[in-house]
């Protein structure tokens, strides 16, 4: 662990994570989507748990949006939302993973 020098503005912060603003891509977006809306992180200080090698990020090509060929309506959005909520399993999978 590195200790910041005396007088460093972030030295006295406790129980928080400070992300750098420098680099090609911000760290939060690489960890959890980047919205920082209550995400929880697990900090592991064991040096043996650190990766020995690093790999470049995958380069996913952009997907072309689907053309609807119709107007978007309130009923259409409501129907999409209901269908999405019926099939959304992320919360259940996340909870089951923790148990």
Chain-wide mean pLDDT for the chain? 84
Q: What pLDDT is recorded for position 82?
A: 95
Nearest to 97 by CA among 89, 6, 75, 53: 89
* Strand ranges, E, within 1-99: none
What are all long-range contacts of 33-41, with beta carbons under 8 Å and residues at least 24 apart? 41/17
Tokens 């019926």 correspond to what residue? Answer: 86
Q: What pLDDT is recorded for position 78?
A: 97
Residue scoring higher pLDDT (2 or 85): 85
pLDDT in tens, 4-30: 788 888 888 888 888 888 888 888 887
Query: Mean pLDDT across the stretch 48-73?
Result: 87
Question: For residue 88, what pLDDT band results from cuts at 50, 70 and 90?
Answer: confident
Distance CA 75, CA 53 (A): 50
Q: Where are the domains of the chain?
A: 9-60+70-98
Q: What pLDDT is recorded for position 61?
A: 85
Q: What pLDDT is recorded for position 80?
A: 93
The alpha-helical segments, DSSP class H, found in the chain are: 27-31, 74-87, 90-98
Distance CA 19, CA 26 (A): 8
Whether 56 has a pLDDT exceeding 90, the answer reads no
Q: What pLDDT is recorded for position 2?
A: 67
């Amino acid at each position: 662990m590195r200790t910041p020098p005396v007088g460093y503005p972030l030295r006295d912060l406790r129980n928080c994570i400070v992300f750098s603003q420098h680099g090609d891509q911000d760290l939060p977006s690489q960890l959890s989507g980047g919205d920082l809306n209550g995400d929880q992180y697990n900090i592991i200080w064991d040096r043996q748990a650190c990766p020995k090698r690093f790999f470049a990020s995958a380069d996913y090509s952009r997907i072309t949006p689907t053309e609807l060929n119709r107007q978007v309506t309130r009923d259409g959005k409501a129907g999409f939302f209901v269908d999405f909520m019926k099939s959304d399993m992320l919360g259940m999978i996340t909870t089951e993973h923790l148990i």
